Structure 1
């Protein structure tokens, strides 16, 4: 089923169900903010390994190219959960919406700021992006948040550069090749594809803890499974099963090689260049959480990034304890 059709059907179901939720059929629909992105690999891998079925869950995975679109599907009640960046939970609390992360996939963003090969002589760091066009997956997306923060760290205002939503995967690659963006933020395997072809080079690397601490000042929990608090209160058994499935998936990732993990993924994820996919995944392995728990100081780092420029968050009191819970991953152990 196509994501747009699924969203329309889900939204129509929500009109006849309880306010804010689709009809409770026993199926859990999870919207992923770009299902082929390696930052969200645990979602598809859990399905491929049969972990949802082992838990007795009927899970359907859908995909939207940007996390902000997935978030909107959740708020509309068209889906029960989202695999997206944790920072949405903080942003939404500032708007009076209660969303909680229940499993953390990535202890770092896994994002890479790439500079177009044609601009690499003029852009040596984020301090040089004044007057340039920067690509993000979508306006209001996590890549947009991070791009603004990295530029602000170098003294630039958001009015000093342009931000262009270019999506992910092939649409991001096209934006680079067509010179519509001077630099942009993306994930694996897109980053490795562009680096290998020579169309782009790394400007800021947040695939590792070392690179993330250098860029953002601390651990930055990113990809995660989050749900509406109202749904969670009524579906704790299902949440616990989802957490178990994903904790087992993260353990699998941390005990297998990139080549072994690739063998479990659908062939259309790597197409005709399996070796490149394996290399990109190998580069990404440090970002995955070993146990699904929220890093101790992670929420504070994320809040710091958002509060630096996001008008929804800046100056507001955010109760970080309501944006995540380790309850279900701790049970899964």
Structure 2
């Protein structure tokens, strides 16, 4: 843990890093893939949608199926259960799974800020004053165990509230989450845009903690906090380096497109259902989180250490676990992809 994380990332396993020059343009070992995701309509996963809609997977020789689950923890379960090859999900899962001796690795970063917002319901908690008021309450998250639940747990822990002092309720990441707040099923919610912006518009929530911008993320976590990434078992990375390179190429190309895309291009690219019935609000929400999208797919040097420190704040098992952060992510694929799409 004391080694420099960047050095660890660059010194990726030999099976991954050394053959790079040989297989960079090689045919993917596995062309048919299942990439699981939890809440595909969220901006958190927009690079994945862009890649799919613009045909970037096919351009790299990949035929990809993308099942959408209620939350990131459900997508992770699909990977562990063998029904998915790769997950587009929160980086934090790579740390949690290493602690469980089921090593998975991020091969390309999609988000450099979590975009998650914790907010109190103005319907059930009109007199909300502080985080302490959440003790004993029901908090809606995309799915228990997901990154939204982890973010909420961290904010609560800093206020002296244990995760067991509240009830986490899975509400998904779309209209179901909005309904849960409107109907009073939950007292607070940890979710992402465009859901949060729509709840704000209707004055249904009061923001408690916000990580939609780099500045706010720094304020909440005290350092850079990596968010969405493509992760897969370390064994898959070692056995399918050309496939992983193709996936990184796809994602970096999508990230580059998003850096230049205008509002009209975004709306034309995403499915109509993602707009949740309000195009202008969707675009307004996009502008609020735009900088949270990674520009290059690279894991920031201090990112893994920040994530580990955050998780250790509320997870006692991780306080004593031996975590090799260098095994949780590699920048080797993203660097080659960046060179290809420079």
TM-score using structure 2 length = 0.87
Cα offset, 1:57, TM superposition: 1.3
Task: Give how far 1:110 is off.
Answer: 0.7
SS at match of 1:29: strand
**1:78 alignment partner, SS class:** coil
Greater RCO, CA 8 A, separation 6+: 2
1:74–1:290 Cα change, 3 Å: same
Aligned residues: 310
SS state of the match for residue 74, structure 2? helix
Checking the alignment, whether the CA contact within 8 Å between 1:254 and 1:290 is kept in structure 2 is yes
**1:229-270, Cα deviation, whole Å (9 max, x unpaired):** 111111111111110111011011111233322221122221
Task: Find out whether 1:56 has 2:68 as its counterpart.
Answer: no
- 1:179-194 superposed matches below 5 A: 179-194=184-199
Which segments of 5 or more consecutive residues in structure 1 lack a partner in the other structure? 1-23
Contact 1:91/1:312 (<8 A) preserved: no
C-alpha distance in structure 2 between counterparts of 1:50 and 1:124, whole Å: 48
Distance 1:246 1:308, change over 3 A: same
Please state if 1:30 is matched with 2:32.
no
Deviation at 1:156, TM superposition (A): 1.8
* Aligned residue number for residue 320 of structure 1: 325
- Structure 2 residues without counterparts, runs of 5 or longer: 1-28
Other-structure match for 1:86? 91
1:44 aligns to 2:35 (yes or no): no
After the TM superposition, which of the residue ranges 257-266 and 29-38 deviates more from structure 2? 257-266
Are residue 102 (structure 1) and residue 102 (structure 2) matched? no
Give yes or no for contact 1:82–1:227 (8 Å, CA) kept in 2: yes
Distance 1:114 1:100 in 2: 31
Question: What per-residue deviation string (whole Å, max 9, x for no partner) do you get for residues 57-114 of structure 1?
Answer: 1111111111111111111221110001000000000000110001111111111112
Tell whether the 8 Å contact from 2:210 to 2:216 is kept in structure 1 after alignment: yes
> Are 1:160 and 2:165 matched, yes or no?
yes
C-alpha separation between the residues in 2 aligned to 1:271 and 1:196? 13
Q: From 219, 236, 239, give the equivalent of 1:234.
A: 239
**Are 1:261 and 2:263 counterparts?**
no
SS in 2 for 1:313: helix
Are the aligned partners of 2:224 and 2:306 in contact in 1 as well (CA < 8 Å)?
A: yes
Quote the Cα distance in structure 1 between the aligned partners of 2:264 and 2:209: 26
Residues 33, 84 of structure 2: 8 Å contact kept: yes
Secondary structure at the aligned position of 1:185 is classed as strand
Q: Tell me the distance in 1 between the aligned counterparts of 2:324 and 2:276.
A: 44
RMSD of aligned C-alpha atoms?
1.6
User: Partner residue of 1:146?
Assistant: 151
